[in-house]
Amino acid sequence: MSNGKDLANMIGDTEGVWLLMDNKKTMDQLQKEVDQYISQFKEGYFSPLAMVARLTEELGELAREVNHYYGEKPKKNSEEEKTIEEELGDLLFVVICLANSLDISLEEAHDRVMDKFNTRDKDRWTRIESRDEDGTN
């Protein structure tokens, strides 16, 4: 086999092969995983407005952790130990829930925003000059 695409074509499972090869999930896989989890409950997804409130709540928890690690407000001894990684995961879960409930592909949304940044904002920021292999210009 020369690459994962050859293997994927042979067994007809492109998505699964790439997951096995690099052990990373695609955004589509993340959305499907969250949907399978939520679909097992009668309540289903919260309303979009409730999920935006949840996003705000989770963003506040992330901000609190960032402030504890990088800001001037150390954590109290009595406070539960959480990590920035955990809070980012919570935030991502709610973003995926919101997208799923509105039938939005986050992969397509990402592609649109990257196209916007690469066209509209292409000259907005100062680019790093290209460097030689040894790290010099």
**Each residue's pLDDT tens digit, 92-117:** 999 999 999 999 999 999 999 999 99
Matching residue, tokens 């939520």? 38
Other beta carbons within 10 angstroms of residue 51's beta carbon come to 19
Mean pLDDT value of segment 41-47 = 97
**In this structure, what DSSP letter does residue 124 have?**
T
Tell me which of 31 and 135 has the higher pLDDT. Answer: 31
According to the per-residue pLDDT averaged within each range, which of 45-49, 61-65, 69-73 is highest? Answer: 45-49
Residue type at position 107: E
This prediction has a pTM of 0.74
Quickly state the pLDDT bin for 1 (edges 50, 70, 90).
Answer: very low
Q: What is the mean pLDDT of the chain?
A: 85
CB 15 within 8 A of CB 26: yes
pLDDT at residue 80 in the model:
79
Judged by average pLDDT, the poorest of 51-55, 63-67, 75-79, 128-132 is: 128-132
Nearest to 58 by CA among 82, 36, 75, 42: 82
pLDDT at residue 2 in the model:
44
pLDDT at residue 89 in the model:
96
